[in-house]
Structure 1
């Protein structure tokens, strides 16, 4: 989907959510100012969540989260952190919840995932069209793979770095990664579809090809260091269904990985 189409999609979603994020929307029986505060981590994953130029959290996932927090009768305190720090803070209970991606091995036993999943995104291998497209994960051997610094790829980053014959080089952000691929500083870029497509110009879309690797699902991850985690998760899921009935949030997504590139390591599905 072209970058303009992504922007139109998310602008439409934000318009639908305008009513839902109104401060007057609180759960039944909650008086203004009495709602519990939830510390909510977010990271740089545009167009779904990111820190805007004014320093405020932004993106479709953030707007859905705001609507959900209000509908559930809570208040939100957003904290911008790199992904690795979010993992640590969830484990230690310094964050209550993270709107993030599911099935993260290092967080197993440390978090509860919401049942509701508002969207999914594809982890893809990007390469110049002058190169042969990736058909099997083993074809990464002997190649240089560009990754985004701070992303764990659900633990896959450690597998890549420890694999014989795969050279890993980090880019500080999605734009830098695209520029590195242009300059042949890597054979492949391992990155998510929406962030890359959102920044590609029309000319750049003619330069690159995308091979889907596996689908990743979004959900709300609740810290088990918070004794209320199970209760908050249940309240969030119930609130999501109420907003869904009003047409204010997307339908609940299937959390399966979908079609997976052959050779992808099973332990990271």
Structure 2
């Protein structure tokens, strides 16, 4: 039987009249009757909803022209949530607001990066990491290659506004000999680099590759800086954060066993540009 608002109202009125207002016994019986009428099919339609915050990091996460959340990490999030039995509500956010919402409970989860200093003590990260993401220094061909952190000294670096780069942005701003300028997004950052408004662009590999595929710029060179880990980051402001995190972990492992998602990665610091460890 389908529980419609009309059916629910009728059953409620019957028990209200019989009990002259619910007491504990009446409420218990009422709930049992509702669950019995609903049956297993109706119960399966009742699913928890999880609010997901995401940002502009195409092709991993981005908002399509129709307003729908898209991207490799978004689709993976949908598959894991479906396996775990959750419905998802997506909200497109600037980076700083996403961090604020994670701290305050405005969103439940962010498909993003681990070890963000601004979120320390405010979030739980999944134990599985579906993919790595590379932070790189991009420069025009006339600039010298970057093989050591010292190669960035006495240079101007273009950063994406709001990105913390795992705490690296703040350290760079405090480092003598390094000037920092900001771009509002990845496309603008590549344009600034091509016009000589900075010596190097510090950005993640996949978003820059996506920009260059759409708007080719000749002579851009890429130099690896750091490998970081992706994960699902849950807000501790949600009292169910640990249950949600465990549900996502378990769901991902089941999907991996069936070969439907990549094998979970081992968390590690991975590659770091020589000399970078002294700064972090």
Partner of 1:250: 262
Partner of 1:86: 98
Answer 1 or 2: which has greater helix percent: 2
Picking from 115, 135, 140, the partner of 2:147 is 135
> Helix, strand or coil for the counterpart of 2:265?
coil
Question: Given the alignment of the two structures, is residue 197 of structure 1 paired with residue 242 of structure 2, yes or no?
Answer: no
Query: Aligned partners of 2:275 and 2:100: how far apart in 1?
Result: 30
Partner of 1:67: 79
Runs of 4+ in 1 over 3 A off after TM superposition: 28-33, 201-206, 265-268
Given that 1:101 and 1:217 are in contact with CA atoms closer than 8 Å, whether structure 2 keeps it comes out as: yes
Picking from 69, 78, 94, the partner of 1:57 is 69
Query: Aligned partners of 1:30 and 1:263: how far apart in 2?
Result: 59
Structure 2 unaligned runs (5+)?
Answer: 1-39
Q: Pairwise CA RMSD of aligned residues?
A: 2.0
Picking from 170, 176, 184, the partner of 1:172 is 184
Deviations 1:173-229 (A, max 9, x none): 112111111111100000111111122149947511111011011100011111111
Structure 1 unaligned runs (5+)?
Answer: 1-27
Partner of 1:13: none
TM-score by length of 2: 0.81
Given that 2:124 and 2:245 are in contact with CA atoms closer than 8 Å, whether structure 1 keeps it comes out as: yes
**How has the CA–CA distance of structure 1 residues 202 and 111 changed in structure 2, closer, same or farther, with 3 Å as cutoff?**
closer
Question: Given the alignment of the two structures, is residue 123 of structure 1 paired with residue 131 of structure 2, yes or no?
Answer: no
Query: Aligned partners of 2:166 and 2:231: how far apart in 1?
Result: 14
TM-score by length of 1: 0.84
- Which of these two proteins has the greater Rg computed from alpha carbons? 2
**How has the CA–CA distance of structure 1 residues 78 and 127 changed in structure 2, closer, same or farther, with 3 Å as cutoff?**
same
Query: Aligned partners of 1:79 and 1:210: how far apart in 2?
Result: 32
Given that 2:123 and 2:234 are in contact with CA atoms closer than 8 Å, whether structure 1 keeps it comes out as: yes
Q: Which structure's relative contact order is higher, taking Cα pairs within 8 Å and 6+ residues apart?
A: 1
Given that 1:30 and 1:73 are in contact with CA atoms closer than 8 Å, whether structure 2 keeps it comes out as: no
> Helix, strand or coil for the counterpart of 1:211?
strand
* Aligned-residue offset at 1:252: 1.0
Partner of 1:21: none
